């Protein structure tokens, strides 16, 4: 068993928070403490991120197995961005452990294609290329994209950077493997087959996961709940914390 770092807040029904690409549990801290007034909130560092050891090969299968070994017997799981792909994969392969699934700014098929909204493949490939020679600058650009166009984007970006800098940056290989998951994994069939309740939360100003994604997801799985937060970008848990918490409370 590899070491997986986690932070636990509060008591009650457990909800696990899984962060996105290049980040770690620090990004959740303020949000987790607010959410912990109602739940036991468990924040985990993805393998190779923050204070968690790495897995090899770096695949969704290895990641979900590493995480499930350190989590309660049953819990709700919320995944943000890349973490949403991990959470969805966990819900598919460990249905007896997952009570409900929340995808926050997430997408079962992250890349845009005909009939499916998503991120342009060229953008992810550009990140991968630039990361090899300008890794830190590329990561900062990624953080900046998450708040692009928001009226209070500067303040949110400062919060993102502060949390990001708490830990060493993941190794380039880990970052590349994370991008490969976003580029190559198509989890739509897994998404359709899920038996647990599913809630989608996203911002209507998200530049990475466009709001049309929620429409596409509901088209292939009509029973899901959808919450689109006006004025929010890719990090609604920072910019619109109360709305995200209300969406969670109304769902769980």
| 22 contacts 164 by C-beta, under 8 angstroms | yes
Q: Of these residues, 52, 81, 100, 105, which one is catalytic?
A: 81
Is residue 51 within 8 Å of residue 6, measured between CB atoms?
A: no
Q: Which two tokens stand for residue 83?
A: 């973490």
Active-site residue, 19 included: no
Residue 74 annotated as catalytic: no
Catalytic pick among 5, 49, 234, 240: 234
134 is catalytic: no
Q: Which residues contact 138 (CB under 8 A, 6 or more apart)?
A: 127, 130, 131
- Ordered alpha helix ranges (H), the chain: 29-35, 60-68, 82-93, 121-133, 135-145, 153-164, 172-184, 188-193, 212-220, 236-239, 241-251
> Which of these is catalytic: 19, 24, 105, 206?
206
Q: Which residues are catalytic?
A: 81, 206, 234
């Amino acid at each position: 068993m590899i070491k997986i770092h986690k932070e636990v807040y509060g008591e009650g029904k457990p909800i696990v928070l899984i962060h996105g690409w290049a980040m770690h549990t620090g990004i959740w801290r303020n949000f987790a403490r607010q959410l912990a007034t109602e739940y036991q909130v468990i924040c985990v560092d993805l393998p190779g991120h923050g204070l968690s050891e790495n897995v090899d090969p770096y695949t969704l299968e290895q990641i979900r197995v590493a995480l499930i070994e350190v989590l309660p017997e049953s819990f709700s799981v919320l995944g943000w961005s890349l973490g949403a792909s991990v959470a969805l994969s966990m819900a598919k392969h460990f249905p007896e452990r997952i009570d409900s699934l929340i995808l926050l700014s997430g997408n079962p098929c992250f890349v845009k294609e005909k009939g499916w909204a998503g991120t342009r493949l060229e953008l992810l490939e550009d990140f991968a290329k630039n990361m090899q020679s300008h890794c830190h600058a590329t990561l900062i650009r990624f953080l900046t994209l998450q708040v692009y166009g928001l009226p209070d984007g500067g303040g949110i970006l400062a919060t993102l950077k502060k949390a990001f800098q708490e830990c060493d940056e993941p190794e380039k290989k880990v970052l590349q493997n994370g991008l490969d998951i976003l580029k190559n994994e198509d989890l739509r069939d897994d998404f359709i087959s899920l038996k647990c309740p599913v809630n989608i939360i996203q911002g209507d100003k998200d530049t990475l996961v466009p709001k049309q994604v929620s429409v596409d997801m509901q088209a292939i799985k009509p029973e899901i709940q959808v919450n689109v937060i006006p004025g929010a970008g890719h990090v609604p848990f920072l910019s619109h914390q109360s709305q995200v918490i209300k969406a969670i409370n109304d769902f769980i």
